[in-house]
Structure 1
Amino acid sequence: MIKDKYKSILVKMGIILIVVLILMIYFFYEPVRSVVNLILISFIIAYAIKPLRNYLCDKFKISKRISSLIIILLSLGIFTTIIYFIVPTIIYESGNFGVMLDNIELYLMNMANKFNLSDLSLFETAYIQINEKMNLFLASLSGNLIDNIASILENLVGFAIVPVVAYYFLADGELIYNKMLLIFPTDKRILIRKINSNIDKVLSRYIVSQLLLSAIIGILTFIMLLVLGIKLPLILAILNAIANIIPYFGPIIGGAPIVFIALLQSPTKAILALIGAFLIQQIEGDLLAPKITGVCINFHPIIIIILLILGGKIGGVAGMILAVPILVIVKVIYDDINYYLF
């Protein structure tokens, strides 16, 4: 009895030590972190579109490799089409940025005169400061143009690997999994299969539900922006949909660009956009999320917030998106080992 107790403690300490070691390597060694992030993103994409692959396999009686290739090519086609329409719009609207700032100044001056405000220095100072900061920002972008282009190309090369890795996860996922099982002793493979099955259930439910919620948020945001006549509706809707994957911080990250672009058109539109974004988040939080997500994860908000901050510091937006799925995997592994072994 005492030996079993000590054995349990040693195994738990060993698991914690291994997890801490893996996290330290991930956090402090950038090349490893970059590779792991790309693999995780590929894994999540493969997980999200796996139901479509299964549907094609069952409906048309084709192999996993062919159905996986079809889905990846369709996804790339959709992504390329979106980029094709978004980039020219961004370039065009960036040329009107100065005009938009002048419109804000004119609006503020008109409001000050309307309410008989004799001292306009506050408005003038605020506008001058905003204008100076934007000029410095644009000058910095142009000054570091070569570095920025090199960084973008480097990221594009990295993300070009994602669809390839996602394809192999889709086409050969079970083969990869069976090969990895050979690493473990025979008597532990049943446990590994149980853990993998539980991870698959929880993680797939979480990923699919989050993607569905994000799609709904994106559609509602797009409709709201069209109704309000705010520029860049497709881009802002996509950004808000992606940001919505991040708990707690997502609405702020996705809503800030919407309000900012609306403010460049008119403060009235900015207020309406803020109200609209708030209502959409209320619909998502109170009506949609409980029905779609259910009880996928059960963590205290403080734990998730701390993890999101760490993820943001380490991997930026990608780190924040991956933080919760990683936490889900770690929790399932810990709970299953604790249940089956002890």
Structure 2
Amino acid sequence: MVLDKKIIQWTTILFIAFAMYKMVDSLEEIFAGAKYIVSLLAPFMWAFAVAYLLNPAMKLLESRFKLNRIASVAILYSVVVGVIVLFFTIVSPRVINSISEIVLQIPQYLQTTQNWIQTNIISSDWARKYEINDYIQKNLNAIVAQAGDFLNIILNKIVNFAIGFTSTFFSILIGILISVYILADKEGFARNSKRFVYSFAGKARGDSFFELASEIDSVFSKFIVGKFIDSLIIGLICLAGALLLKMPYAFLIALIVGITNMIPYFGPFIGIIPSVIIVLFNDPIKALWLFVFILILQQFDGLILGPKILGDKVGMSPFWIILAIIIGGGIMGVLGMFLAVPTFAVIKNLLERYMDKKLKLRDIEIG
């Protein structure tokens, strides 16, 4: 009997070890299969994401204006379609033209910069005096060559992005259509989800699962919706200011500032650098004014607009927010930087609840 148990144990261990070996040996095929499945499910993922983002607006229409579900969904998606049409008829063409113009003018910018360095630095008396003109010329040629290679990389990335965006855009469109049905029957989806979880997990674990899901929903929905509204307002103010200051590429600058503003703390700095560089080669004085304007705009957002819209949605100190952004950015890039804050907020709440429970069981009070 004991021998049979040992045989079963060793057989199980060997089977698990073999399965793990095959998984490690076939990681490339596994990732390829997972990528294929994700691409198939992409429209449904977008559908749930869109429905999740639009749900607060639908609840507002139903509660404040006493509209029924059909009217709320109809109004909501009319606005969504209107925004998409405005974006692709007004904003998108200007942004594409700006990017095309910048890419085409980069060689000219490089040549202008090289000529300026040649005239004002390499040919200067002090450069000859200290015999550094040959050194500067040598490094300048190397920098120009690297800049040319960098330009080719950028062009390839733009082409690849355009190709990838086309397929993603169709997935988003299909997702928006599917999200209509999700929102229209959200109670049915919620009821079926509860039936599924409770049937497999039981009452106690099911309650714990939905309690956790409710907390995640509370943190994520408030943060994401609040940050989106905040960044949209900042982007529109930036567009108005850039147009008033007669900045070149105003729509592109506003889009960069608005999108990067979604990232807490680091977003404003990420957005201000490319925006100023874009204008710098065109007009250095305007670039300085743009720098000052965006700096003032970000201070307004950080001190007035942001706290007004977001409040203390995540309940985390700046130290933990910065740590979360760095870790999230290292793992998932820009998307990770954005999602890191609400994710860490949920983890922090769970840890605090666990520690409070343990301290209470051990009758320990910490002031």
TM-score above 0.5, yes or no: yes
2:256 maps to 239
Q: Partner of 1:207 in structure 2?
A: 224
Q: Distance in 1 between matches of 2:82 and 2:352?
A: 38
User: Cα–Cα, structure 1 residues 193 and 336, in superposed 2: closer, same or farther, change >3 Å?
Assistant: farther
Q: Which of the numbers 65, 70, 79 marks the counterpart of 2:78? A: 70
Q: Report if aligned partners of 2:94, 2:252 keep a CA contact under 8 Å in 1.
A: no
Report if the CA contact (8 A) 2:328-2:336 is conserved. yes
Deviation at 1:250, TM superposition (A): 0.6
Deviation of the 1:206 alpha carbon: 1.8
Number of paired residues?
315
CA distance in 1, matches of 2:333, 2:108: 32
- 1:326 CA drift (Å): 2.8
Bigger mean CA deviation after superposition, 178-187 or 53-62: 53-62
Assess if the C-alpha contact under 8 Å between 1:53 and 1:67 holds in 2.
Answer: no
The amino acid that maps onto 1:134 is A
| Alignment CA distance shift 1:277-1:314 (3 Å) | same
Residue 208 of structure 1 aligns with an amino acid whose one-letter code is V
Q: Give the AA of the match of 2:344.
A: L
Q: 1:294 to 1:311 in 2, by over 3 A?
A: same
Within the alignment, does 1:180 sit opposite 2:193 as a pair? yes
User: 1:24-65 CA distances to partner (integer Å, 9 max, x unpaired)?
Assistant: x9xx96738889998777655444433432354445545255
**Any gaps of 5 or more consecutive residues in structure 2?**
1-26, 362-367
Contact 2:42 2:171 (C-alpha < 8 Å) held by counterparts: no
Matches within 5 A, 1:36-185: 45-57=50-62, 58=65, 60-63=67-70, 65-67=73-75, 69-81=77-89, 82-105=91-114, 118-119=126-127, 121=133, 128=141, 130-141=143-154, 150-160=163-173, 162-164=175-177, 166-182=179-195, 183-184=197-198, 185=202
Of 87-96 and 159-168, more deviation after overlay is shown by 159-168
- Shift, 1:329, TM fit: 4.0
Amino acid across the alignment from 2:78: I
- Aligned mate of 1:283, from 275, 283, 300: 300
> What residue in structure 1 maps to residue 22 of structure 2?
none
Higher relative contact order (CA 8 A, sep 6+): 1
**CA distances 1:265-312 after superposition (whole Å, capped 9, x unpaired):** 133333332222222222211222223222111234444334323433
Paired with 1:279 and 1:36, the residues of 2 have a C-alpha distance of: 43
The verdict on how the C-alpha distance between 1:316 and 1:286 changes in structure 2, with shifts beyond 3 A counting, is same
Deviations 1:233-268 (A, max 9, x none): 112111211111111221122111111112111333
C-alpha separation in 2, matches of 1:332 and 1:35? 35
Q: Could you tell me the percent identity over the aligned residues?
A: 24
| Normalised TM-score (structure 1) | 0.71
Q: CA deviation at 1:231?
A: 1.6
SS of the equivalent of 1:119 reads helix
Distance 1:338 1:71 in 2: 46
Q: Does 1:327 align with 2:329?
A: no
What's the counterpart of residue 314 of structure 2?
A: 297
Report the Cα distance in structure 1 between the residues aligned to 2:171 and 2:256, rounded to whole angstroms.
21
Is this contact kept in 2: 1:214–1:244, CA < 8 A?
A: yes
Q: Secondary structure at the match of 1:221?
A: helix
Cα deviation, residue 324, structure 1? 2.1
TM-score by length of 2: 0.67
Computing the radius of gyration from Cα coordinates, the structure with the larger value is: 2
